[in-house]
Amino acid sequence: MSNAYGIDIGTSNFKMCCNDKDKILNEKNIIAIANKTELLAYGDEAYEMYEKAPEHIDVSFPVKFGVIADIENMQTLLYNFFNKINEGKKVTGSDFYIAVPTDVTEVEKRAFYELVVDSKVKAKNVYVVDKPVADAIGAGLDVTKSKGIMVVNIGAETTEISVLSLGGIVISKAVKIGGNKLDDCIISSVRKAYNLVIGSKTAESLKKELGSAVQVSESFAPGFGRNVLSGLPVSVDISSDVIYQAIIDALHSIMDAIKVILERTPPELAADIIKNGVYFTGGTSQINNLEKFIKQETNLNVNIVDHPAESVVRGLMGVVSNPEFAKIAYTPTEKNFD
């Protein structure tokens, strides 16, 4: 059997795994190019340079809002990550399974497929799998049965809310709110409350340390940045209350989108969702007390999947290894996108 690779190209992180290796490659989906042509760094190493690089070094994320915005840089990243997972060994003629978001245009979906087909990885076959379906398989659910499954993937820039049944998507909606939006809200709230300008990395670490979807007793963490008034670098103890107030509106927007999908879900499938609860995946679903917040708002049970950031790529490996899921993967020629 030839090697098969699963690829989940996220806005913030690139995940890849191979059916004959246990480990999942999970690195920042970012590239650093010097003097417009020279590859300086990629992945986690390039992320170290983010917001710190001089002008001649361009550090950028090639995916925006879940869609490939810079195909050339994305192909460079794909090729380098592929070599990294194979530890530099030359591998050709492999099968690739790539997760595609559902709530995007046909052209944007096709870009994911063509990214692999046209790249230097010399693929034998390229299949696409709808991201929410892979997500549910990665969460350990059998998507082929006629029962309703609701999956909410909160990523870096988008939240994808889907109801699945019989291996397909019954209803799906993506909203442009995710972890990065929460970081932006934290940046503006910290500026207002403390006259402190912080970068997106500091905002992200404050979100992880202090962020909570429900109000909790106050705690503090240091935030490093520049004082607006003096222009000098300072460290300020940031309150968890400020972080909570910063992110709660965005979380309510996600909640409203979930409610819209629940209202549009056919009653028989809704009954299954009430029984089994909602499954949350994606890196941003790790925010503290999210399950309490959702339970308060909807009265539904909440299942936060183990290693939620990697559930899509694990689901792709599930498609490869389980013959029951074979029909879930398709090539664009077999099934028209959309």
pLDDT in tens, 107-129: 999 999 999 999 999 999 999 99
Whether 169 maps to a domain, the answer reads yes
CATH number of the structural domain spanning residue 259 = 3.30.420.40
Considering its fold, how many domains does the chain have in total? 2
CA pair distance 103, 88, nearest whole angstrom: 36
Say whether both 251 and 154 belong to one domain.
yes
Residue 323, helix vs strand vs coil: helix
Residue type, 203: A
Instruction: Judge whether 241 and 211 are in contact, CB under 8 Å.
Output: no
Residue linked to tokens 């404050």: 206
The C-alpha atoms of residue 183 and residue 119 are separated, in whole angstroms, by 33
153 and 211 co-located in one domain: yes
User: Are residues 151 and 72 both part of a single domain?
Assistant: no
Quick one: tokens of 254? 């996600």
153 and 110 in one domain? no
**Domain membership flag for residue 183:** yes
Residue 333 lies in a domain: no
Residue 238 within any structural domain of the chain:
yes
Classify the C-alpha dihedral 11-12-17-22 as positive or negative.
Answer: negative
pLDDT tens by residue, 192-227: 999 999 999 999 999 999 999 999 999 999 999 999
Q: Note the pLDDT of residue 232.
A: 98
Does residue 291 sit in the same domain as residue 198? yes
Are 108 and 214 in the same domain? Answer: no
Q: Kindly state whether residues 273 and 318 are assigned to the same domain.
A: no
Decide: helix, strand or coil at residue 63: strand
Structural domain range at position 154: 142-304
Quick check: 335 pLDDT over 60? no
The pLDDT of residue 40 is 97
pLDDT of residue 77 exceeding 70, the answer is yes
**169 shares its domain with 127:** no
309 DSSP 8-state letter: G
- Same domain for 166 and 128, yes or no, is no
Those residues with Cβ within 8 angstroms of residue 212's Cβ, 6 or more apart along the chain or in another chain = 240, 243, 244, 287, 288, 289
Q: Count of alpha carbons within 13 Å of 187, Cβ hemisphere only?
A: 15
Q: How many helical (H) and strand (E) elements, i.e. helices and strands, does the chain have?
A: 10, 18
- 277 assigned to some structural domain: yes
Residue 248 located in a structural domain: yes
pLDDT of residue 88: 87
Q: What is the pTM of this model?
A: 0.94
Residue 228 lies in a domain: yes
User: If we measure between CA atoms, which residue out of 241, 246, 244, 207 comes closest to residue 223?
Assistant: 207
Q: Does 205 lie in the same domain as 70?
A: no
Element (H, E) at 73: helix 71-85
Token pair belonging to 175: 């909203």
The answer to whether position 63 is within a domain reads yes
DSSP three-state, residue 130: strand
The verdict on 162 and 29 lying in the same domain is no
Q: Are residues 299 and 180 in the same domain?
A: yes
